[in-house]
């Protein structure tokens, strides 16, 4: 499944900046953009308000984030797909890239300063282990 660009998102403003850059790249090159969200553990909570009950799941929330971002980017005319997976963000992006034979992974640099850089930011881990090219978006400024 060649022709895929992968971007990792978590719903915050900096990941949206990376997602917009990824969408521009996908549109300019005619590639499909795969929006990917990772979640750390699959927890489900029951919330009751009056007679109503809801079940909130981290897996469902991650899927909603990926879907919302993909739908927002689709408006610009880029073909989008989305997915979510259990695991650390870098591992999920790397596994998705390998599985789909992605051409490019796009990530933000927001956690590449100071101690976080030493401890292994997502961008650092992806750039050192990716099976394809990596584009690191300057999202911290």
**CATH number of the CATH domain containing 112:** 3.40.50.620
The answer to whether residues 111 and 125 touch, using CB atoms and an 8 Å cutoff, is no
Rounded Cα–Cα distance for residues 115 and 138 (Å): 18
* Per-residue pLDDT, 44: 61
Q: What is the pTM of this model?
A: 0.83
Q: What is the domain count for the chain?
A: 1
Average pLDDT of the chain, as a whole number: 86
Contacts of 14 (CB under 8 A, 6+ apart): 108, 110, 139, 140
41-45, 81-85, 114-118: which range is least confident on average?
A: 114-118
Q: What are the residue ranges of helices labelled H in 30-140?
A: 58-74, 89-100, 114-119, 122-129
pLDDT value at 46 more than 60: yes
What domain range includes position 35?
A: 4-137
Three-class SS state of 105: strand
2 pLDDT above the threshold of 70:
no
What integer pLDDT is reported at residue 14 of this predicted model? 86
Q: What is the pLDDT of residue 8?
A: 94
Say what percent of the chain tops pLDDT 70.
82
Tell me what pLDDT residue 45 has. Answer: 66
């Amino acid at each position: 499944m060649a022709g895929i660009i992968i971007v990792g998102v978590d719903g915050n403003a900096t990941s949206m900046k990376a997602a917009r850059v990824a969408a521009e790249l996908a549109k300019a090159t005619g590639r499909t953009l795969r929006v990917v969200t990772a979640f750390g553990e699959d927890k489900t909570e029951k919330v009751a308000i009056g007679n109503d009950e809801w079940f909130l799941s981290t897996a469902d929330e991650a899927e909603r984030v990926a879907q919302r971002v993909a739908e927002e980017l689709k408006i610009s005319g880029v073909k989008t797909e989305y997915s979510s997976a259990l695991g650390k963000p870098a591992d999920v992006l790397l596994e998705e890239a390998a599985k789909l034979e992605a051409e490019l992974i796009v990530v933000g640099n927001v956690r590449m300063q100071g101690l976080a850089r030493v401890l292994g930011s997502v961008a650092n881990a992806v750039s050192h282990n990716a099976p394809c090219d990596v584009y690191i978006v300057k999202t911290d400024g």
